[in-house]
Amino acid sequence: MKESDLRKAFQGRRALVAGGLGFIGSTLARRLAGLGAEVLAVDALLPDQGGNRFNLAGAEDKSLAVEILDLRQGHLDRLVAGRDFLFNLAGQQSHQGSMDAPLEDLDLNCRVALSLLEACRRESPGVTAVYTSTRQVYGKPRSLPVDESHPLAPVDINGIHKLAGENYHLLYHRLYGLKAAVLRLTNTYGPRMRVTDARQTFIGLWLRALVEGKPFEVWEGGQLRDFTYVDDAVEALLLAACQPKAQGQAFNLGGGGAVSLKALADTLVAVHGGGSYALKQFPPERKRIDIGDYQTDDRRFRQASGWEPRVPLEEGLKRSIDYYRAYLAHYL
C-alpha cells in the first residue's frame, strides 16, 4: 500500500495503542501520528514489561497523548469510546516470566484483552482491533517453515495465554461483528526494545553488551530464527488494520528468512565493527521451553495485505546499534 493510501486510511482517525510506551507500541504510535491520526498511547509502565517514557520523548503533542494506566484496574469504556482503531500490544511478553508468575501472565494477557474487547462491544462496536500474538503458539515446529495450518501446541504459559487472546478477538469478530485481526509475531528487534534483560528479546542483551564493550553469550548457536525489524512490523500492523481481507483471521508475520543464532551473532559483531561472544549451553530452565528451530511462512499475510519487509537484517542491526550508542543510558 502506498504512503498516500496509508495516510488516507488513518488521517483524522482516532487510534488507541495499548502498550503504547513499549518497544513496538511506541514505534506504532509515532507512525500513526505521522500519518495524521489522533493517537492515545496507554501504558501501565510495569517495571518488568518494557514500557519507557523515553520511547515517546519529544513526540507528545495534540495528536499524540499518553496516559499511564493499568488496564487490569481502570474503567476502559472511556478509552475506547469513539475510537476507530485499537492496537492491542499490552501484555506480558517473557516466556520464562510466564512460567515464574503464571497468574500474573493470565491477568496481563487474558484479562486485559477480554476487558478491552468488552469495552469495545459496549462503547465502540465499529472499531477495528489488531491483536499482537506470538509464534510461540505453535510450540516446537513439526516442519519448517511454519504456516498457519501448523498444529497449535504452546510450550509455555505465555503461549497458552496469547492463544486465548487470539481466540477472544476472533470470537468477538464472529459473534459481535467486531472487526479484528491477529498477527503472530516472530523475533522483532530494533530501536526502543528492552535491553536490561532477555524478557523481551535476547538481541537486546547482545546489543547492550556490544555497546558497553563486553562479550555476550550465545546459547548453543545452531538454532534457526527469523527476525522482523520493528518498522516492518509496524507497517504490517497498519495494513492489518485497514485491509478488509485481514479481518477475522490470524496471520503469521516473518521477515527475510531464517539464520542461525551463531550467524546472527557474527553479523552483529561485524556490523558493530568488533566485539566478542561465547557459545554456552542452554540453562536447564530455559531449555525446557525452547522451541528449537523456527522459520515463518507468512505468505498468507503477504497475499492478503501486500506487505513485505523492507529493512534487511544487516541494515536493521546497524540502525539498532546506532540508536543504543546514542541513547543506551535511557534504557538501563
Domain extent listing, the chain: 3-193+228-254+296-310
Kindly write down the DSSP assignment for every residue of 252-298, as one continuous string: E---S-EEEHHHHHHHHHHHHT---EEEEPPPHHHHTT------B--
pLDDT digits (tens, 9 = 90+) for 48-89: 778 999 999 989 888 999 999 999 987 899 999 999 999 999
pTM: 0.94
Contact between 200 and 193 under an 8 Å Cβ cutoff? The reply is: yes
pLDDT digits (tens, 9 = 90+) for 75-134: 899 999 999 999 999 987 777 778 888 999 999 999 999 999 999 999 999 999 999 999
> Any idea which residue has 542491526 for its cell?
317
- Please give the class, per CATH, of domain 3-193+228-254+296-310: alpha beta
From the list 48, 57, 120, the residue with the least C-alpha distance to 91 is 48
User: Residue 160: its pLDDT value, please?
Assistant: 95
pLDDT at 274 over 70: yes
Alpha carbon separation from 147 to 160, 272, 285 (Å, rounded): 18, 33, 28
- In this structure, the dihedral spanned by the alpha carbons of residues 308, 63, 182 and 315, taken in order and rounded to 10 degrees, is 30
Contact partners, residue 90, CB within 8 Å, separation at least 6: 18, 19, 25, 42, 43, 44, 71, 108, 112, 113, 116
> Any idea which residue has 552483529 for its cell?
268
